[in-house]
Structure 1
Amino acid sequence: MIDTKIGASNSKDDPAAVAGAAFAALQADSGRVVTGLKNKVMSAATEALPDRAAAALNRGMPKPGSAD
């Protein structure tokens, strides 16, 4: 995963904050949690777009070798 755009990014959320948000969501019986402003914007955009457009938007980020 290190050689992907996501893995090479320096703007990852703090793991403790993500775990805390996930735990709070579990306690609140919420089926979904999105942490961080960038993730919330991306999540809202992909939900608003048609599936084909959302897939195209996200296609390159997890692709091996995309960090170059």
Structure 2
Amino acid sequence: MVKVFYLGDIVEMKKDHPCGSKEWEITRLGADIKIKCCGCGRIVMLPRSKFEKDVKKVVRQNSPE
């Protein structure tokens, strides 16, 4: 099954960010995925394979109508 993500989705990662937040907003999609911490605003870029492995669940989906 292929996981589908959209720009603006809020996802929960397996590990806490050092600031204490587990929630991240997706700001870029592609071979690499850019996510922004909802707690402190830090931006991190991950390869799609690592991102899909580390995502626990989609908290809020921003699906296009």
TM-score above 0.5: no
Q: Calculate the TM-score normalised by the size of structure 2.
A: 0.23
Q: Which has the higher contact order (CA 8 A, sep 6+)?
A: 1
Q: For the pair shown, which has the larger CA radius of gyration, 1 or 2? A: 1
With normalisation by structure 1, the TM-score equals: 0.23
**Structure with the bigger percentage of strand:** 2
Flag the structure with higher helix content. Answer: 1
